[in-house]
């Protein structure tokens, strides 16, 4: 039997769990379901857009020079558009993606597009609008789902809202675990469904089981999601314990002073410089210099990095001389950098490959199960209290 003090504390945690779940939980359902879709977002996007993204390679055909590939994309740019970066394909059956930016029609803000280029024939296979920053409905399906997931489609304001929802759900999950914790020590009954029980008890048991087992992963996903919504504050918090490098540093190229039109290095030369400094790994992207003093930024994923689709290892290169301006890899990582590096791949599940993706796919349905069973349980209690002449809280 609970002593009065414990009973009072339990009521407080139950109240917190119930009402945070009822209100923030509704948004959390959307976050969870969109997260399930995004667990295999890249594979789905490639399948849905196979007509422009998929390419066929003949066994005797090697990859065309990178300069020819990019030149084909540059030639297809609309008037006034600016190429900003190049994404390498994830595997041999995909096209390169050249990103470019142009002003949105009738608007005063930019939108981003992709041009897809066959790497073996250096031919454009297609083009698409990827991001309209203010009109989410114009985006492709997977980008639409992504923006719903992290901002509900409301930009920075939406990200702030989702961040606070994440904090509320973190508290709700923790409060639920406190309420669930069996003070009598009977963990077996607390971790299983009670056989041959009433409908009301069955709803409670399902809510309890989904919450307890799901919380193991949910706490990690919610905590990492909060960091991703509030990265400045997150990095500041991590920085209290270990130095964290700036995420997007800028390094300036030095244009030759004695030439009116200084010559820049070719992209093939750029790849050779990167390979000389980072022999192993896979190219992920090249960010082009923004202006005459900008530098190339190249991401080349090192073997064993937890993020399998992007690259923690990055190198900045002078666009004129080819000088390496900076190299960020594991040799220069602090403990804080390593911690931050793991957060995104833990959130998406990609740190553990296909197994991690499947876990994220399944865990995305847990908020829906918790919300439905939680609301039903709440309504059941309300009905009993009304029959007893009380109010529903």
Residue 93 lies in a domain: yes
pLDDT in tens, 300-346: 999 999 998 889 999 999 999 999 999 999 888 999 999 999 999 99
Residue 208 inside a domain? The answer is yes
Tell me: do 61 and 123 sit in the same domain: yes
| pLDDT at residue 56, as a whole number | 82
**Would residue 292 count as lying in a domain?**
yes
Distance CA 20, CA 175 (A): 10
SS (H, E, C) 280-299: CCEEEEEECCCCCCCEEEEE
Q: Quote the mean pLDDT of the chain.
A: 90
**Domain identity same for 325 and 368:** no
Q: Examine the domain organization and report whether 158 and 35 are in the same domain.
A: yes
Give me the half-sphere count of Cα atoms (radius 13 Å) on the Cβ side of residue 134: 8
Quote the pLDDT of residue 99.
Answer: 97
| Residues 284 and 216 occupy one common structural domain | no
What is the domain extent for residue 59? Answer: 54-139
CA distance 390 to 393: 9
Tell which residue, 98, 96, 104, has the closest CA to residue 80.
104
- What are the pLDDT digits (tens) for 183-202? 777 777 777 777 777 777 88
Query: Which value, to the nearest 10 degrees, does the dihedral of the CA atoms of residues 133, 137, 142, 146 take?
Result: 50
Q: Is residue 174 part of a domain?
A: yes
Locus of tokens 């055909």: 61
| Same domain flag for 83 and 128 | yes
pLDDT the model gives residue 277: 96
Q: Are 181 and 207 found together in one domain?
A: yes
Is 74 found in the same domain as 198? no
Which residue, 113, 139, 165, sits at the end of a domain? 139
Model confidence at 353, in pLDDT bands (50, 70, 90)? very high
Cα(367)–Cα(21) distance, rounded to whole angstroms? 9
In a domain, 338, yes or no: no
pLDDT at 341: 94
Sequence-distant (6+) residues with CB within 8 A of 221 are 35, 346, 347, 360, 363
Write down the pTM of the prediction: 0.88
Same domain? 34 vs 58 = no
Whether residue 352 lies inside any domain: the answer is: no
Residue 64 and residue 86 in one domain? yes
pLDDT of 355 over the 90 cut:
yes
Among the ranges given (63-77, 141-155, 201-215, 268-282), the one the predictor scored with the smallest mean pLDDT? 201-215
**How many domains does the chain divide into?**
3
First to last CA, the chain: 23
- Give the whole-number percent of the chain exceeding pLDDT 90: 67
Are residues 316 and 268 both part of a single domain? yes
Domain boundary among 332, 349, 376: 332
Overall size of the chain counted in residues? 393
* pLDDT > 90? residue 179: no
pLDDT digits (tens, 9 = 90+) for 75-118: 999 998 999 999 999 988 999 999 999 998 878 889 999 999 99
Residue 144 in domain: no
Assess whether 187 and 229 both reside in one domain. Answer: yes
Q: Is 377 within the bounds of a domain?
A: yes
């Amino acid at each position: 039997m609970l002593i009065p003090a414990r009973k009072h504390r339990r009521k407080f945690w139950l109240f917190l769990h119930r009402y945070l779940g009822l209100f923030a939980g509704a948004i959390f359902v959307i976050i969870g379901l969109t997260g399930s879709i995004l667990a295999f977002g890249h594979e789905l996007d490639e399948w849905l857009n196979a007509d422009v993204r998929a390419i066929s390679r003949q066994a005797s055909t090697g990859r065309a020079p990178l300069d020819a590939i990019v030149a084909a994309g540059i030639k297809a740019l609309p008037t006034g558009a600016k190429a900003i970066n190049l994404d390498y394909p994830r595997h041999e059956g995909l096209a390169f993606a050249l990103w470019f930016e142009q002003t949105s029609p009738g608007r005063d803000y930019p939108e981003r597009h992709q041009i897809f280029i066959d790497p073996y024939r250096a031919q454009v296979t297609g083009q698409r609008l990827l991001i309209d920053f203010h009109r989410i409905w114009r985006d492709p399906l997977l980008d639409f789902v992504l923006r719903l997931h992290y901002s509900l489609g409301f930009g920075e304001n939406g990200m702030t809202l989702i961040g606070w929802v994440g904090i509320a759900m973190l508290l709700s999950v923790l409060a639920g675990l406190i309420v669930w914790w069996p003070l009598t020590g009977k963990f077996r009954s607390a971790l299983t469904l009670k056989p041959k029980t009433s409908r009301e008890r069955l709803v409670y048991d399902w809510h309890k089981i989904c919450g307890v087992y799901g919380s193991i992963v949910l706490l990690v996903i919610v905590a990492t999601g909060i960091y991703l919504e509030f990265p400045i504050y997150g990095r500041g918090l991590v920085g209290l314990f270990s130095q964290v490098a700036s995420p997007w540093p800028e390094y300036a190229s030095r244009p030759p002073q004695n030439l009116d039109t200084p010559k820049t290095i070719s992209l093939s030369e750029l790849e050779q410089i990167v390979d000389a400094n980072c022999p192993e790994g896979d190219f992920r992207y090249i960010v082009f210099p923004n202006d005459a003093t900008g530098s190339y930024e190249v991401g080349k994923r090192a073997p064993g990095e937890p993020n399998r689709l992007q690259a923690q290892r990055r190198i900045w290169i002078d666009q004129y001389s080819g000088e390496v301006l900076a190299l960020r890899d594991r040799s220069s990582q602090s403990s804080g950098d390593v911690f931050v590096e793991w957060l995104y791949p833990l959130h998406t599940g990609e740190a553990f490959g296909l197994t991690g993706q499947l876990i994220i796919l399944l865990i995305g349905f847990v908020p829906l199960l918790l919300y439905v069973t939680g609301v039903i349980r709440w309504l059941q209690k309300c009905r009993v209290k009304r029959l007893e002449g009380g109010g529903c809280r």
